[in-house]
Amino acid sequence: MQLIARRIVRYSLITLLSLAVLFALGRYSVMVYGGQYHGVRAPYLQLPSPTTMGLRWQTPNSEVGVLQLGTAAGVWGRRVLENHAAEQHAIDVTGLTPATRYYYAVGSEQRMYYGGDALHFFETPPLPGSALDVRAVVLGDPGYAQDGAQARVTQSVQAWLTQHPRPGRADFDLLLATGDQAYTSGSNPQFQSNFFIPYQPWLAQVPIWPTYGNHDARRFAYFHIFDLPAAGQSGGVASGTEHYYAFDHGQVHVVVLDSQDSNLSTGGSMYQWLEKDLQANRQPWLLAMFHHPPYSKGSHDSDQWRDSWGRLVEMRAHFVPLLERYGVDLVLSGHSHMYERSVLLDCHYDVSKTLTPAMILSQEANGHYIKTGPIHSPHQGAVYAVVGSSAKLDDGPLNHPVMARSLHERGALLLDIQAETLQGNFVNEQGRVSDSFSITKNTAQPALNRDSCQSN
Ligand SMILES: [Fe+2]
């Protein structure tokens, strides 16, 4: 009897183990298969620096990629060939002039697929520290193209950009995306249909800076598609990984963190890299971006450990204190599919009920915040924005007490950053600016006496 029981247990274990192995293999092959895309992909821009630009595109067959480049449309000064045939093409052009427009065309030796017209150009970033103003479009969880909402938001943003032109310059400089760039699974075909095709006109002209979201992590496509500055190619300290990185654009330094798959503890390598990068930063404006919001009462709840396996809580408890110690100005997140924008906040690292009046540095009704003291003074306050509704819109209580604005609206956030002022405008699906805020730096006034949270 005992022998029979033991055999049953043994066979059950073997069956269970075999099923687990089969499931893991199946899952792995789905992830690998979902990383593939065969077809044409229009050009997009990666790894910019004042003197370099990377162009990426795809052709349906394996061909040697060709890039033509010039300072006027169709008037080519340079022709660059790849040194091998491929479907996925990557050419990094060097020796460019900072803050200069270059027109381009890309294709293969057989034919040029894209460009050669007035719509295909890029502008190299200015030198770090340049006083040239910077404009960014922030897309939140943008990768859903099925119901027309993404197109309406994109059209509204483009209309705003057209109404607020920058003569002689591209409509904007930075395309920031807060994660979940391709629903539902982050597969390569979904990136094509939900991200590259809908945003093609912008991607042709402006470098895309993505953030790793939970939906991007479901397939092996994100890191195939994006080349991110792990070696510090775009400014900032080399992170050694594409999961998190930093870059400079003129007077703006941006750190992009991975709240999805990286170690979120203060002893982890992302934290250690971030501290080094923040110590080295010399640009006056400091922006941070990661997918899981430290403050949200939208379709995700930052008070709940069980929400997204504690990632929102950990980002707030571990990374927000470090960012505030180095004077972060604006923190961008997504994941909650709505729009929430905080007051000027400092030292709020626990659940929302622990918020005290001392943590709110300005209640200014119209959202015009002033930070005083030398740049990077610690704990002078930061604005936290959840931008997660550039395509999807979900429900939630929208009652987080740090938020000055909580909107159940689709839209995108536009940033205009000048020497002393950062202006934010949330353009909604109907083309209306439904939130505005600004941060002005007055370095002539002494900083608030807030060296650490304990001293407040
Ligand atoms: Fe998400």
Residue 284's CATH number: 3.60.21.10
Indicate the pTM of the whole model: 0.95
What is the β-pairing status of strands 112-115 and 360-362? unpaired
94 burial (CB, 10 Å; 0-12 / 13-18 / 19+) is exposed
Query: How many angstroms does the Cα of residue 71 sit away from the middle of ligand 1?
Result: 40
Question: Residue 207 in contact with residue 46, Cβ under 8 Å?
Answer: yes
| Residue 214 CA, ligand 1 centroid: distance in Å | 5
d(CA 393, ligand 1 centre) in Å: 12
Q: Which of 419, 379, 396 is nearest to 293 (CA)?
A: 396
The verdict on 192 and 60 lying in the same domain is no
| Residue type at position 431 | G
> Which structural domain range is residue 102 located in?
41-123
Assess if residue 22 is contained within a domain: no
User: Measured in angstroms, how far is the CA atom of residue 370 from the centroid of ligand 1?
Assistant: 32
Residue 7 has pLDDT above 90, yes or no: no
Q: How far is the CA of 140 from the centre of ligand 1 (A)?
A: 10
Same domain, 161 and 295: yes
Look at residue 455 and tell me if it is in a domain.
Answer: no
Identify the domain boundary among 57, 91, 123: 123
Q: Note whether residue 409 is domain-resident.
A: yes
pLDDT digits (tens, 9 = 90+) for 324-365: 999 999 999 999 999 999 999 999 999 999 999 999 998 787
Neighbours of 110 (CB within 10 A): 11
| Å from CA of 217 to ligand 1 middle | 10
Q: How confident is the model at residue 376 (pLDDT cuts 50, 70, 90)?
A: very high
Distance 181 CA to ligand 1 centre (A): 9
Find the 27 Cα to ligand 1 centroid distance in Å: 20
Supply the Cα-derived Rg of the chain in whole angstroms: 23
Query: 37: how many CB neighbours lie within 10 A of its CB?
Result: 21
Q: How far is the CA of 389 from the centre of ligand 1 (A)?
A: 11
H or E element, residue 190: helix 188-191
* 7 within domain boundaries: no
Cα of 332 vs centre of ligand 1, distance in Å, is: 13
Of 94, 123, 152, the one marking the end of a domain is 123
Residue 425 CA to ligand 1 centre (angstroms): 23
Same domain, 257 and 117: no
Q: How far apart are CA 69 and CA 43, in angstroms?
A: 13
Say how many Å lie between the CA of residue 186 and the centre of ligand 1. Answer: 11
| Residues forming a β-bridge with 245 | 256
Q: How far apart are CA 209 and CA 289, in angstroms?
A: 10
pLDDT at 11: 78
Same domain (yes/no): 355, 305: yes
Closest alpha carbon to 315 in 307, 226, 376: 307
Tokens (6 digits) for 86: 């491929």
Compute the distance from residue 308 Cα to the ligand 1 centre, in Å: 9
- Quick one: DSSP state of residue 96? P
Q: Is residue 25 one of the residues assigned to a domain? A: no
Compute, in angstroms, the gap from residue 90 CA to the centroid of ligand 1: 29
Contact call for residues 211 and 226 (beta carbons, < 8 A): no
18 within a domain of the structure (yes/no): no
Structural domain contains residue 329: yes
Cα–Cα distance measured from residue 25 to residue 31, given in angstroms and rounded to the nearest whole number: 10
What DSSP assignment string belongs to 134-168? Answer: EEEEEE-S----SSSHHHHHHHHHHHHHHHS--TT
Task: Kindly give the distance from the C-alpha atom of residue 162 to the centroid of ligand 1, in angstroms, as a whole number.
Answer: 30
Separation of CA 99 and ligand 1 centre (Å) = 34
pLDDT digits 0-9 by tens, 136-189: 999 999 999 999 999 999 999 999 999 999 999 999 999 999 999 999 999 999
Q: What is the pLDDT of residue 2?
A: 76
Q: How far is the CA of 141 from the centre of ligand 1 (A)?
A: 7
CA distance 383 to 42: 35
Neighbours of ion ligand 1 (CB under 5 A): 180, 213-214, 335
- Assess whether 76 and 165 both reside in one domain: no
Q: How far is the CA of 299 from the centre of ligand 1 (A)?
A: 10
For ligand 1, the distance from its centroid to the CA atom of residue 357, given in whole angstroms, is 31
Q: Using 50, 70 and 90 to split pLDDT, how confident is the model at 32?
A: low
Same domain for 223 and 107: no
Q: What would the pLDDT profile of 287-312 be if each residue is shown by its tens digit?
A: 999 999 999 999 999 999 999 999 99
Q: What angle do CA 304, 287, 231 make, to 5 degrees?
A: 105
Using the predicted structure, report yes or no on whether residue 22 has a pLDDT greater than 90: no
| Ligand 1 centroid – CA 383 distance (Å) | 21
Q: How many degrees, rounded to 5, is the angle at CA 104 between CA 98 and CA 106?
A: 130
- Per the structure, the count of domains in the chain is 2
Token readout for 329 is: 């100005």
- 113 and 155 assigned to the same domain: no
Domain stop point among 123, 142, 175: 123
Clarify whether residues 107 and 152 are in a common domain: no
Ligand 1 mean position, distance from CA 60 (Å):
31
- Residue 18: in which H helix or E strand, if any? helix 2-33
Same domain membership, residue 417 and residue 274: yes
* Token pair in block for residue 55: 């162009």
96 and 138 co-located in one domain:
no
Q: Are residues 359 and 336 in the same domain?
A: yes
Which residues, other chains included, contact 31 with Cβ-Cβ below 8 Å and sequence gap of 6+?
218, 219, 220
CATH of residue 72: 2.60.40.10
242, 287: one domain? yes
Amino acid at 98: P
Q: Does 448 fall in a domain?
A: no
